[in-house]
Structure 1
Amino acid sequence: MSSLADANGLVEAMKRAARDERESSKPVNVYFGEVVSKSPLKINVEQKMVLGERQLVLARNVTDYMTTVTVQWTTGEGVLPSDGETAVPPPHVHGIVGTQNFMMHNALEAGDQVILLRQQGGQKFIVVDRIGGKR
């Protein structure tokens, strides 16, 4: 009986080694999920598990962030009426030139569909982007 148990143990060890070898050749796994809660952030991954904030690493395009852009904007000029009699303020121009800071509102919302990456054997999931456009 002992040799049968040893044989079964050897077969199981070989199966584990083959499975581990297959998995090690795929260092990253791709998953799809849905945001079920914004605060605290929770994502249901392929209807199998719910991940919380401590397990998630957010890429910038799924967060709110400040960015600086170079702008050169000019607003409309005033127009005199065609009747020539109606009093209007004189024509004017407002210009914005240079760099300006803007808040990008990209934080995840409940219902957003997302793409996640998980490093093999890791406990952290990187939320790369949402699927489809922002609502």
Structure 2
Amino acid sequence: MLNMIKRAAMDANEASVPVGITFGTVVNDNPLEVTVDQRFILDEDFLIIPESLTKYEIDLKHSHTIIGVGGTATALGDKVIIRTGLEKGDKVILLRVQGGQQYLVLDKVVGA
């Protein structure tokens, strides 16, 4: 009986904790999969990815008409990558949302 009461108290305490911090590693970037402490793998369905961790690139191709010269100059330069997004091997900080059904990818870990 005492063990049941202790277990109920522990379960109630865990349920009251809104988030838990953990670390993971990106094992696949398309589709996105993150392994958590080498225990289990989370796929995109369980991850909340902020915009700051998504790939962002801009297209710099453009052309100019030069007045008086009678021609068109085309500036070369395809796409410039502003953010690479999450890639295989990246270490990430995860916040477990209450209930443990979703994880917010807070940021990448660098230098660790």
5+ long unaligned stretches in structure 2:
59-79
Equivalent position to 2:83, from 90, 100, 105 = 105
Partner SS, residue 115 of structure 1:
strand
CA contact (8 A) 2:22 2:36 kept: yes
TM-score normalised to the size of structure 1?
Answer: 0.58
Amino acid at match of 1:53: E
Q: Is contact 2:36–2:42 with CA below 8 Å preserved after alignment?
A: yes
Moved over 4 A (4+): none
CA distance in 1, matches of 2:53, 2:84: 5
Larger-gyration structure (1/2): 1
Unaligned runs of 5+ in 1: 1-9, 68-101
1:27 to 7, 14, 18: 18
Deviations 1:14-57 (A, max 9, x none): 12221123213421100100000011111010111110111111
Q: Is residue 2:97 matched to residue 1:119?
A: yes
Supply the RMSD in Å over aligned alpha carbons: 2.2
**1: CA distance, partners of 2:32 / 2:83:** 16
- What is the percentage of aligned positions where both structures have the same residue? 42
Aligned with 1:20: secondary structure?
helix
Alignment partners' CA distance in 2, 1:37 and 1:122? 21
The TM-score, its normalising length taken from structure 2, stands at: 0.69
The number of equivalent residue pairs is 90
C-alpha distance in structure 2 between counterparts of 1:17 and 1:43, whole Å: 31
Once the 2 structures are TM-superposed, how far is the Cα of residue 62 of structure 1 from its aligned partner?
Answer: 1.1
